[in-house]
Chains A and B, each alone.
Chain A
Amino acid sequence: MLAIESLAKRYSKKEDYVLKDINLEVKQGEFVVILGTSGAGKSTLIRCINRLIEPNSGQLYWYEKNIRKLKKNDLRRYRRDVGMIFQEYNLIERLSVLTNVLVGRFGYLNYLKILLQNYSEGEIKLAQEALARVGLAGYETAKVRDLSGGQRQRVGIARALTQEPRLILGDEPVSSLDPVTAEKIMSLLTEINQKQKITMLISIHNVELAKSFANRIIGIKHGKIVYNDSPDNLNKKMLERIYS
């Protein structure tokens, strides 16, 4: 579904490339985990995929369509297909849980409807189902700022589900959570991956967590892919290659 060809990115001409010659394919239904040290280029890679960051060179294909060339409305339409969850959840703190989840519909609606918060019954139902899916049924009117970290990430996942994506990107979605909560969130993502057939591409810090949940692991070091295989083959030597 997604193909990345010789992707490269540097933030300024004075700095080194953060990503150098990344080649990667993601197939529908996969649960891919990206491993790597801080600064290896994980966040940049993930943000290049939905073009929150513009790469300098290389190509990106989404179902054979070149997405580097997409302009305004086409880019927005593509982004609807690609959900994203974040390390710091990136919710609107002062607003309610339901309002935050309905943000997932912003790619489908015109501005006036968004401004007036004029959603159809179907859309509200979709948001409520997403909340139920992540275990937060009944939390619609709660304020985000009153929630715990784990609950916040669940709202983040519900927001992504509400946009009805085919792929969910995750930029270290469990790195700010305690180990038990992190595992629960990973299980939830696995469930969504298996039952709703939504592909996952997620970066993670914790090697054990990556091994127990991923179908495939990508190791990144200094902006290059140094490992791209099943978690079973990720032995000590390979780990050293990623983390040394």
Chain B
Amino acid sequence: MDLENKKVKTVLIISLIAIVHLWSLRGVGFDLRRLLKIGNTIEFIATRWFPPDWSILNKVLGEAIITLQIAIVGTSFSLLVALPLSFLAAKNTTPWEGIYSLVRGFLSFLRSVPEIVFALVLIPALGLGPFAGALALIFHNIGVLGKLISEKIEAADKGSQEAILSVGASNLSVITFGILPQIMPDILSETFYRFEVNIRASLILGLIGAGGIGQLLFIHFRIFAYQKVLVDTLIILIMVIGIDYISSLIRTKVI
């Protein structure tokens, strides 16, 4: 009887998964015959993108550095704001329940608005360029880091906090010495991970005019300067791979 039940359950789950996927494939208009035309893309790249136009290399590198700077500012400033907020948004350190709910709600709002939406809203007021992009990253990442850090605060071991409280220390001292040293490695690791994500996000923000190498790529695409697009793409590849490598090295070896 039990075994029978289990079989029925398995069949039901498999059919459910199948139905969800068939439904999704229909939604995206998935068509194997059209997939065969992918050869055209290869031909397009082979004939129109080569040879790369290295004359613009300096300009591309300059814009790549701006992308890097957007990501650096977008990451560090969001950490700076998120860290104090996360203590208000953690059950064990918040001064009172009201602030806890308020800050939690604010953080999840920031988190659920994508960077690109923040940028679209900010650009009319701040104008096109890297500043709007960096600010968009900051807003979204305050939400992301704030949630992560407040969860670490709540999960921190209570032992040393209790000991510091027992000597007659203030709550602020308990936070500084009982919680922060424990969660610091996690915070740094998460921050470096967000930095990697922000590099990629700032490329996308470039498409809507928020500066950096992403914007250059989009401009070259629109004026059909494919030989320049190739240079943009190569530099982006090198930058993303390089930063992912360095960042993960720091996260695993140093922290």
Contacts and interface: CB of A to CB of B under 8 A. Distances in A.
In the A-B complex, the 4 residue pairs with the smallest Cβ-Cβ separation, listed nearest first, are A107-B168, A106-B169, A79-B168, A90-B163
Contacts of A78: 168
Interface in B147-196: 159-160, 162-170, 172-173, 176-178, 181-182, 184
A74 B176 CA distance: 22
Interface of A: 50, 52, 75-80, 82-84, 86, 88-95, 103-108, 111, 114-115, 156, 159-160, 163
Contacts of A115: 176
A84 B163 contact: yes
A4 B159 CA distance: 25
Contacts of B159: 86, 88-90
B170 A111 contact: yes
Given A52-B162, A86-B163, A90-B160, A103 B168 contact: no
Contact of B177 (A83, A89, A103): A103
Given A52-B162, A90-B159, A91-B160, A103 B167 contact: yes
Contacts of A79: 165-168
B163 A76 contact: no
A92 B181 contact: yes
A115 B176 CA distance: 8
A91 B184 CA distance: 16
Interface residues of B, number: 19
A111 B173 contact: yes
A90 B167 CA distance: 12
A85 to B, nearest CB: 9
A76 B170 contact: yes
Contacts of B176: 111, 114-115
A21 B176 CA distance: 37
Contacts of B182: 92-94
A91 B162 CA distance: 10
B178 A92 contact: yes
A169 to B, nearest CB: 8
Interface of B: 159-160, 162-170, 172-173, 176-178, 181-182, 184
Given A76-B170, A106-B169, A114-B176, A86 B162 contact: yes
A80 B163 contact: no
A88 B159 CA distance: 8
15 contacts: A75-B168, A83-B167, A84-B163, A84-B166, A86-B159, A86-B162, A91-B163, A92-B160, A92-B177, A92-B178, A92-B181, A93-B160, A111-B173, A114-B177, A156-B163
Given A92-B160, A92-B181, A103-B177, A111 B167 contact: no
A137 B159 CA distance: 25
B208 to A, nearest CB: 43
Given A92-B181, A94-B182, A52 B166 contact: yes
A43 to B, nearest CB: 11
Given A83-B166, A83-B167, A106-B164, 18 more contacts: A52-B162, A77-B168, A78-B168, A79-B167, A80-B167, A84-B163, A86-B163, A88-B159, A91-B160, A92-B178, A95-B181, A103-B167, A106-B167, A106-B169, A107-B169, A111-B173, A114-B176, A159-B163
Contacts of A52: 162, 165-166
A108 B167 CA distance: 9
B234 to A, nearest CB: 42
Contact of A76 (B169, B177, B181): B169
Contact of A103 (B163, B170, B172): B163
Contacts of B172: 111
B95 to A, nearest CB: 13
Contact of B169 (A83, A90, A103): A103
A2 to B, nearest CB: 15
A159 B159 CA distance: 14
A163 B167 CA distance: 7
Given A92-B178, A106-B173, A115-B176, A76 B162 contact: no
A50 B178 CA distance: 18
Contacts of B184: 94
Contacts of A163: 167-168
B142 to A, nearest CB: 24
A83 B166 CA distance: 7
B168 to A, nearest CB: 3
Contacts of B163: 84, 86, 90-91, 103, 156, 159
A66 to B, nearest CB: 18
